[in-house]
Structure 1
Amino acid sequence: MTEREHDSSPLARARVATRLPARDLDRARRFYREQLGLEPLDERPGGLLYRCAGADFVVFRSTGASPGTFTQMGFEVDDLDAAVAELRRRGVVFEEVDAPGLRTRDGIAEIEGNYPSKGARGERGAWFRDSEGNLLGIGQPTQ
């Protein structure tokens, strides 16, 4: 796709907002507040709106549940070690992964390659589940 074709898409300038299901919205609110240190910016019946560095995500009441088999949302941080240490202090449990091409050590994986536009050679990553089983990731580009 050329840049011109990309720019003509009605979604090219749209804001992206992640939606995460929650069977128990009160439990999810407690998790995001107590374990992640986040408060909703806004709320409506059945939904909590969070904003991090200008990007929105919503946790919404749902009768369905995430399978938790893939990363549903990721946070990009400047210091992964500090972020993981603080979240562990708050009670977050990080996943240990041992799969072809991806292995964590003490909850952190070293990942080869990155997107050229990010100007990084790789990424370090860690994953955890929220109170509703949603799999969330934290990444730090490496130079």
Structure 2
Amino acid sequence: MTTDRGGPLAAARVIAKLPAQDLDRARAFYRDQLGLEPVEERTGGLRYCCAEGEFHVFRSSGAPSGTATQMGFEVDDLDATVAELRRRGVVFETVESRPGFRAAGGVVEVDDNYPSKGTGERGAFFRDSEGNVLGLGQAVRVSAV
């Protein structure tokens, strides 16, 4: 076991992988509701690129757990993004307030964040056509006066 920070995966790119029981249905959801088109295809798989990241949707007989966020999108304006996605037919999850965060109108607010990203975070969650839980997040930053 190495103790340095340069382990064998330190330089690897991270790619999210999402299962789909019906790849055509998933393609339609990502196109029609999220406005995304695959940049590449292979038998049983679709590759999507967004800004600096990418994710793959692949045909699978397995089902997503549906109990936790499987992939997230960081956005600059959560309210505008949620409004546009709702207009496109995306249904957002109802989230109840719990210790550590508040929920109002389907938006979660957390008072903490990774220091390099901000002082808090706002988020919203929805499911794709295959039941994968996807999240949107917007960093909250306090401006210096």
Same fold by TM-score greater than 0.5: yes
Distance 1:99 1:107 in 2: 10
| Aligned 8 A contact 2:97 2:103 in 1 | no
Mapped contact 1:20–1:60 kept (Cα < 8 A)? yes
Q: Quick check: 1:117 aligned with 2:116? A: yes
**TM-score of the superposed pair, with normalisation by structure 2:** 0.91
- Corresponding position of 1:108: 107
Structure 2 match to 1:57 = 55
CA drift of 1:11 comes to 0.9
For structure 1, which runs of at least 5 residues remain unmatched after alignment? none
1:77 and 1:36 map into 2 onto residues whose CA distance is 13
Q: What's the CA shift for 1:103?
A: 4.2
Map of 1:28-107 to 2, 5 A cutoff?
A: 28-101=26-99, 102-107=101-106
The percent of aligned pairs where both chains have the same amino acid is: 65
1:14: which partner in 2?
Answer: 12
Which consecutive residues of structure 2, in runs of 5 or more, have no partner in the other structure? none
Deviation at residue 107 of structure 1 after TM alignment: 1.3
Match of 2:48, as an amino acid?
Y
| Moved >6 Å (runs of 4+) | none
What is the RMSD computed on CA atoms of the aligned residues? 1.2
- Equivalent pairs counted in the alignment come to 138
- Counterpart secondary structure, 2:76: coil
